[in-house]
Amino acid sequence: MKTWKKVLIGVGAALVLGVIVAVTVYQSRKNLVTVQTGKVQKQNLASVVSASGEIKPKTYVNIGANAFGKIIKLHVKEGDRVKKGQLLAQLENVQSSADVNATRASVQAAETDAVAGDAAFKTSLADLNRAKSDAAHAKLDWDRAQGLYGAALIAKQDYDVKKAAWESTDAGLAQAEARVAQAKAQKDSMDKHITQNQANLTRVSDVLQKTTYEAPFDGVITNLPVREGETVVIGIQNSPGSTLMTIADMSVITSEVKVDETDIVNVHLGQPADVTIDAIPHKVFHGIVSEIGDNAIVRSTGVATSQAASTSQEAKDFKVVVTLADPPSDLRPGLSSTAKITTATRSSVLSIPIQALTVRTQADLVPKGEGKGNNNVQAAASAPVEASKQKEEIQGVFVIRNKKAEFVPVDTGISGTTDIEVIKGVQEGDEVITGSYKVLRTLKPGTSVKIDNSAPKKEDES
C-alpha cells in the first residue's frame, strides 16, 4: 500500500476517534451542574442579635411644676453638674409665704388659748375640791343636827339652819362639777384648734415648699426648656404641666434598644453585648443586658400593645436595656447606638455556611436517575409516600458524594454571622454545596455536579 493511502487512513481514524471522544464528553456533561462548595468543619460560633436604639442614663427625672407661678430665679444652666439638695429654681412665693406666716400666728394664738384653758380647767378642779370639802362639812353638821333635834337638844331653828347649809353646799358641789366639765370641754376644743391650725400650717408650708426646687440626686442638667420670668403651670387631668428641667445621673449609662419580636426569645438578662455609638466611630463599648421589656411595642407608632385601642398585625419590637461597663464621660443622652447581644456561644462545633442550608419536600427528594443512587435517604424518598407527606418540608444540605449531589437532612443549632451549627446529619470534612442560590433552589438529588469555587459572576435572578 502506498504511503499516502496509509496517511489518509490514519487521519480518518483520528477524526473518527476525536468525534467519538467529543460525543462522549458532551453526553457526560450534558446534565452537569456547576456549583460552589464549602467544607463541614469545627469552629467556635456565637449567635448575635443586633438592635438599634439610643443612649439613656439609667436614672433620670423630669422636674415638673408643682405650683402655679412665675420663675424668679434659675440657679443652674444646661450642662451643669449638681449635688443632691442643691437649689435649682425659685418660683414667686409672696402669697404662699404670707399664708404660712398667718397660719403660724394662728397656731401660736391657739396654743396661748390652750394654756389659758388649761389654767381655767385647773381652777375649776380646785373649786370642785373646795366644794366637796364644804359639802362634806355641811353634811356632818346636818347629820349631827338630826341626832340632836331628835333628842330635843336643839331648837327647830338651829335644825333648819344646818339643813339649809347642807343643801346649799350640795348645790355648790354640783355647780363646781359642772364648771369642771365645761372647762374640760373648752380645753379639748382649744387642743383641737391647735391640731387644726397645725394641719393648715402643714398644708400652706407644703405649698410654699413647692415653689422651691432642689436636686433629688447627684447628676447633670440635660434639659432646661424654661427661662427666668416665665410662668409655669401644674398638670391637670390629660393636660401635662410645665417641665422645668431634666436631671440625669450619668454615672450609669445604658443603651436602650428595640429588639425584633422574632429575636427576643433568645435574649436573657446578663448576656454580654457590644455597643457602638454613631457619634464615636471605631470604638466598641462593652455591656450586659440589664432589663428586658415584657410589653410589645408597635414599630410604626411606638405605642405599647397594652395601650393600643385595637390589635395590630404590624411588626413589633421589645425594649431591651444594655448597661455599659465603661462609658466615657462625654456621652450625651439621645445619641444613636447599636447593640450586638451575644445570645449563645458554642466551642469547637460542627458548622456549615448558612447559605448551604435548604428545604425540600418529600416530593422533591425523588432522585434524578432513579434506581442509580445507593443512599438510604434517596431510596426512602423515591418510595411511594402518602399524599399528605409529599408536602412535608425537610431541612437539609446537598453533600457531594461520587461527584453527585446527595440531599442529607440535618438538625441545626445556633446561627453565627455566616455559619450555622449542625447537630446531626453530616461529618467533619464533608463537602456541601453552598451556591449558587439559583442552583440550590432547583437542584435535584442525584444530579452530577462540577465544582467551581472561583469568584462567581453576577447572575440574573429574574
Give me the residue spans of the domains in the chain.
Answer: 33-47+350-451, 95-209, 252-345
In the chain, count H helices and then E strands.
Answer: 5, 20
The pLDDT tens digits of the residues spanning 339-379 come to 999 999 989 999 999 999 999 888 777 654 454 444 554 44
DSSP 259: E
Asked if 289 contacts 271 with a C-beta cutoff of 8 angstroms, the reply is yes
Give the pLDDT band of residue 104 (cuts 50, 70, 90).
very high
416 has a pLDDT exceeding 90: no
Close Cβ partners of 78 (under 8 Å, ≥ 6 residues apart) = 221, 222, 223, 224, 245
The pLDDT tens digits of the residues spanning 200-257 come to 999 999 989 989 999 999 999 989 999 999 999 988 777 788 899 999 988 899 999 9
Residue 145 is predicted with a pLDDT of 82
Q: Rg of the chain over CA atoms, in angstroms?
A: 49
Residue 418, CB-side half-sphere exposure with 13 Å CA sphere: 3
Higher pLDDT, 427 or 313: 427
User: What does the mean pLDDT of the chain come to?
Assistant: 84
Residue 74 forms beta bridges with which residues? Answer: 89
Residue 28 is predicted with a pLDDT of 47
Close Cβ partners of 316 (under 8 Å, ≥ 6 residues apart) = 261, 296, 297, 298, 299, 305
Residue 308 is predicted with a pLDDT of 62
What's the mean pLDDT in 321-343? 90
The pLDDT tens digits of the residues spanning 299-315 come to 878 777 776 656 667 78
Helix, coil or strand: residue 252: strand
Give yes or no on whether 33-47+350-451 and 252-345 have one common fold. Answer: no
CA distances from 441 to 35, 170, 364, 407 (A): 12, 120, 11, 13
What's the mean pLDDT in 88-117? 92
C-alpha cell at 436: 449558587
Share of the chain above pLDDT 90, in %: 41
Which fold would CATH assign to domain 33-47+350-451?
2.40.420
Cα–Cα–Cα angle for 328, 331, 334, rounded to 5 degrees? 150
- Strand 33-39 versus strand 419-424 pairing type: unpaired
pTM: 0.63
Higher pLDDT, 379 or 391: 391
CA distances from 429 to 409, 420, 426 (A): 17, 15, 9
Residue 271 is predicted with a pLDDT of 94
DSSP H or E segment with residue 443: none
Report domain 252-345's class: mainly beta
Residue 57 forms beta bridges with which residues? Answer: 253
Residue 238 is predicted with a pLDDT of 73
What's the mean pLDDT in 120-135? 88
Cα–Cα nearest to 449, from 439, 461, 457: 439
Residue 460 is predicted with a pLDDT of 46
What's the mean pLDDT in 258-282? 93
Asked if 88 contacts 76 with a C-beta cutoff of 8 angstroms, the reply is yes
What's the mean pLDDT in 120-127? 88
What's the mean pLDDT in 416-430? 90
Residue 307 is predicted with a pLDDT of 65
DSSP H or E segment with residue 214: strand 212-214
Top mean-pLDDT range of 23-32, 99-108, 140-149, 154-163 = 99-108
